[in-house]
Amino acid sequence: MSNERFNDELLSAIIDGEAEPELVASVNADAEASTRLEQMRQAVQIVAEEPPAATAQRRSASIAAAMAAATPAPEVTSLAAARHERAETKKQARSFSTGWVAAVAAAVAFLIAIPIAIGLGGGSGATDVAADATDSTSLNVTDAAGDAADAVAETSSDDAMEDDEAMEDAGDSARAFDDDAMEDDAMEDDAMEDAVGTLSLSFEGLESLANGVHYEGWIVVDGEPISTGNFNVDADGGLVDLEGNAVTDPFDAVHAEDATAVVVSIEPANDTDPAPSNIKVLGGDVVDGEADLSIAHGAAIGTDFADASGVYVLATPTTSVEDDELSGVWFIGLDGGAVQGLDLPELNEGWVYEGWAVIDGVPVSTGRFTDPAAADDFNGFSGTDATGPNYPGEDFIINAPDGVNFPTDLRDGTIVISVEPVDDDSPAPFALKPLVSEVADGIADHEVQSLDAGPVAISGKAVLGS
């Protein structure tokens, strides 16, 4: 004050009711002294008021404000980004920790000072505190007292459980910026251990799947399959997602560095099963981070059909007339009667064989089977005059599909044995065609014809990266 006659000690005496009437009158007559006296009275009143009880909402707001004031944790978009941010955090850990500890220390000192002021009550000690507070030219008395009341409310709550929760939350916030705590955090350690690598896939001969049916990639780690994502292929054999968009980036592959095999399965539409289906089309063992994918892998179809062979005849044993003998195909040989005509390997679960005749460019099924020494599962096109032999085959006499007329002449057509997924509902053969024959023009009915090796089997390449 400029008027040193009325110092804070004398003004405190007036507030405490201990001043002489002459002093009171003199202060009231002095504008500067009376203004100072009123400021001190307001400070004493605010400090002496009972602080409001702390609430969970108030506590959460305080913690949120502290979090907002601190340097935010970096946003992590991938494991690779996480590793980079972690390295940068280590470089700056000491400065982060020091700044945080200093802020906490200042807050603790402030919280300790407030209960002392409260304990002084409304006596001369309280007015001394108020006087000291008003001496600071950078601090507004009312704002400071309000902040003090907030701080006291945080420490004076008699809800012990909420206090514990607030302390735990504040501790968690501090640990978010403490490198040592981050190192010890179990969840982060688990995330870093579950390192995400990459899987790049390419294929030859893999065909597009329809009606929501799709492919799914898998890596095998410790004998367990881990999905790397769903995909399909377009008409040109390029990888696309399930919406038909081109796949240009590798697939994520957790624990890619530990993979021992790569497998490609065929999954049904709207698949929600986290495990692979039984229909696995390609597989390969990982060697030096790469896998050559083939149908012969034990986890896939289990054979490359290199030893497959077969014969067939054109005949219509289910009709009683003789002028339609070129309108049926049966996978048999003739040795004093019908004998087994196909020599095919046993298929892994999820796959079946299917016979086809391509008539005027339209593939028409003769039926599905797993045992070439037994009848197939279909006779919907055959005649009704007699029963066909107990081997795969079909007469094309009735119920012709769209685009085809029965009876027909199969000469100049194509006969196919394909390998099909069990759940496939496509009207055309799958990409796997181990045996094929172009029916020669001019051959006679009941003349045994050979089946040749089909097109090159589908294959693929998998490359794993860290």
DSSP string, 30-78: -HHHHHHHHHHHHHHHHHHSPPPPP-HHHHHHHHHHHHHHSPPPPP--S
Share the mean pLDDT of the chain.
77
Query: Where in the sequence is the domain holding 248, given as residue range(s)?
Result: 195-294
pLDDT confidence of residue 112: 36
**Residue 281: phi, psi to the nearest 5?**
-95, -30
Q: What is the pLDDT along the chain (466 residues), one digit of tens a residue?
A: 445 577 888 778 888 888 888 888 887 888 887 888 788 888 777 666 655 555 544 544 443 443 334 333 334 334 344 434 444 443 343 333 334 334 433 443 443 344 433 343 444 444 444 444 344 333 343 443 344 344 434 444 444 444 455 445 444 443 443 444 445 455 544 544 567 899 999 999 999 999 999 999 999 999 999 999 999 999 899 999 999 999 999 999 999 999 999 999 999 999 999 999 999 999 999 999 999 999 999 999 999 999 999 999 999 999 999 999 999 999 999 999 999 999 999 999 999 999 999 999 999 999 999 999 999 999 999 999 999 999 999 999 999 999 999 999 999 899 999 999 998 878 999 999 999 999 988 899 999 999 999 987 899 999 999 8
User: Of 189, 208, 240, which residue sits at a domain end?
Assistant: 189
Task: Give CA–CA dist 288/412, Å, rounded.
Answer: 49
Task: Look at residue 45 in the predicted model and tell me its pLDDT.
Answer: 73
Whether 46 is covered by a domain: the verdict is yes
- Are residues 290 and 260 in contact, defined by beta-carbon separation less than 8 angstroms? no
In a 10 Å sphere around its CB, with 0-12 CB exposed, 13-18 middle and 19+ buried, how is residue 97 labelled? middle
Position 318 in a domain: yes
The answer to whether residues 159 and 22 belong to one domain is yes
Do 378 and 327 lie in one domain? The reply is yes
Q: Are residues 239 and 158 in the same domain?
A: no
CA distances from 316 to 395, 398, 409, 445 (A): 5, 12, 11, 9
Bridge partners (DSSP) listed for residue 327: none
Residues 325 and 343 grouped into a single domain: yes
Q: What is the pLDDT of residues 456-466, one digit of tens each?
A: 789 999 999 98
Q: Which two tokens stand for residue 462?
A: 């998998």
Is 102 inside any structural domain? yes
**Residues 313 and 200 both lie in one domain:** no
Query: What's the whole-model pTM score?
Result: 0.59
Q: Is the same domain home to 268 and 417?
A: no
- 201/182 same-domain check: no
Token pair in block for residue 9: 């000690």
State which of 168, 189, 210 marks the end of a domain. 189
Tell me, yes or no, whether 301 lies in a domain.
no
Beta-carbon contacts of 330 under 8 Å, excluding residues fewer than 6 positions away, are 312, 313, 315, 317, 338, 341, 388, 389, 391, 392, 393, 394
Domain endpoint, select from 266, 294, 322: 294
Residues 34 and 157 in one domain: yes
Which pLDDT value is given to residue 3? Answer: 53
Beta strands in 341-457, from DSSP E residues, in sequence order: 342-343, 351-359, 362-369, 393-395, 414-421, 432-438, 449-453
346 in a domain, yes or no?
Answer: yes
Q: Helix (H) and strand (E) counts for the chain?
A: 10, 20
Q: Is residue 461 part of a domain?
A: no
**One domain for residues 181 and 205:** no
Tell me, what's the pLDDT at 89?
45
Neighbours of 205 (CB within 10 A): 15
Same domain, 347 and 269: no
pLDDT recorded at residue 42: 80
Residue 2 lies in a domain: no
> How many distinct structural domains can be found in the chain?
3
Rounded Cα distance between 310 and 329, Å, is: 13
* Claim to verify: residue 36 and residue 121 sit in the same structural domain: yes
Rounded CA-CA distance 205/223 in Å is 28
Q: Is residue 289 part of a domain?
A: yes
Instruction: Looking at the structure, tell me whether residues 64 and 128 fall in a common domain.
Output: yes
Please name which of 334, 315, 313 lies closest in space to residue 324, comparing C-alpha atoms. 315
pLDDT at 193: 52
